[in-house]
Chain A
């Protein structure tokens, strides 16, 4: 594999929600480690409480970590301040689910896109800034004339393009897309997904693509990381995740996707119960309460993340190299 651009080591984030001496922590992200390679797309999937969005914010340094380290191109960036921090911050950018919420309704979209360029003094000449913004608009498939329009004049898909243009304005190397297409209609979603793929090739970007829709994440990702209640459950190459599924939770997620199939309905694993709260989670396997393969051991011993095959890590006592027959139901 190519060189490592981001190295995440034992990243942990607890949110203290206790009051008056009672100890209550949301275990939002717990001991998460992975490497992000240059020019790859790493998909992160998970449901509510999985910590996937918190993880993105930790990497960007938007919230302080409880423990653990983030290395960018070999240098530690956790808690770094000053000039280097702003360089890192412009190298790693984020695209959000709802770009409308982050666009000021009274500011022309061109000026919104230009703002990071001006703040970071990337280009000083006003005329050049405008040229650069028009170039960016062009890049994301909008017309340069749209510079002078306001956010409400755009459709959902176009706003997402504006959000992407703004994220690209600082020439980032890594783009973290947090549910970036989740709010879009199918046909618009397809346009934005194609745009992401095209930009990746044109600008040699590296993506972390966070989503809850496994079919979308599969479509864009080289590798997929599955999270549940703050922990990594499984991480592997996209093909491996689907063909050689090792974790029962991954298996359930894959089977849960409603697909257009004219012939027969696929076998579906229905997990029992609700997603537990990430506040003071149990000692054993976090997935124990809902797992269709749970054994006594799972409730007592916390499984470690093991490499059961090349680049295929699983947090389950029972997964093993080669077969996933034991997961059949």
Chain B
């Protein structure tokens, strides 16, 4: 546990010492700000009953942030250490492969969580200004944030996997961006409707991140969604561990 904590701290410190952390934070804060302004302008034209969180997650902003930011957060995890050689120094200490993988994933998750803090701040301000208590429904907000973290978990695990494959951060970012955008595309409604009504269409529909996010943002916690996200996360972490271990049988 001590070792694990030390590794997680290193991950986070690395992100902020390397400037990318700050750039990512600033960029998401900016995008969140723009999206809220955009949303408020639209709302003043055409009022609606939906919670603000739902409106936000239905907007393109959320997905842009998720798809672009995730690869940037995770590209460092393994690739940077491999290219600088510190990976060798790390792997010749008595730490287990799983410890390393989980620490890198946890560090990415914590950072991913930090990235969304400005959104919470913006929502609080919005509520203060409008004085409407219903604006920030605790259930919907908690559900939305849980949803963000679950989807983020899948994307972080995917990113760690991509980073473990290569020693180049750019390739890592590109691979995880492709994986991420692929997962997003299959969850678009046109794709599943195109497949007709068969079993595959239903499968895709169940896998649809967009639909899950809709539910989460309304404050609906479907255990099937949670199980799916957790399972996919573990699948990618497992693959990552295999890649890390592969230096021992390659």
- Does B bind A? no
Chain A residues engaging chain B, CB cutoff 8 angstroms: none
Chain B residues engaging chain A, CB cutoff 8 angstroms: none
